[in-house]
Amino acid sequence: MGKKFICAAIVLTFFAAAPVLAQEKKAKPLKVTGDVGLLDTEKNYMIVVTKEGKLVTIDFDKKTKVTKYVPEKAKMSDINLGQAASVTYKKQGDKNILDSVDVKVKAKKGE
């Protein structure tokens, strides 16, 4: 009876932990849209302010895909505060890691 109990406990532990392990390995990208409230290219993070006023802090690195204007490659330093942005990120532990960001530029008069 002791061996069956231990085997059952191991199996139950595996099934209870499997969704958590899968979530860590295959983090589904999340998306937030709002304005760039803060951009720190030295510490590699940004804060997006949603229409509802929620602040979302997201970390980035050199591999982060950035697009501006009519899709063209850009750098994080090309982003200006107050620009509308659509951001895709993943949860890694207690951090939000930036996957990609699309910024919207208001058209100048006559364009």
- 12-48, pLDDT tens digit by residue? 444 444 455 455 567 788 888 888 999 999 999 999 9
* The pLDDT of residue 24: 56
Q: Domain limits of the chain?
A: 30-104
pTM of the model: 0.49
pLDDT at 66 over 80: yes
Q: Cβ–Cβ contacts within 10 Å for residue 96, how many?
A: 21
**Pairwise CA distance, residues 97 & 58, whole Å:** 5
**Pairwise CA distance, residues 81 & 104, whole Å:** 12
Residues 75-98 have a mean pLDDT of 89
**Pairwise CA distance, residues 9 & 30, whole Å:** 34
Q: What is the CATH number of domain 30-104?
A: 2.40.50.320
> DSSP of 10-51, one letter per residue?
HHHHHHHHHHHHHHHHSPPPEEEEEEEEEEETTTTEEEEEET
The two tokens of residue 78 are: 């090309």
At residue 68 the predicted structure's pLDDT band, cuts being 50, 70 and 90, is: low
In whole numbers, what is the pLDDT of the chain averaged over residues? 76
**Pairwise CA distance, residues 99 & 2, whole Å:** 48
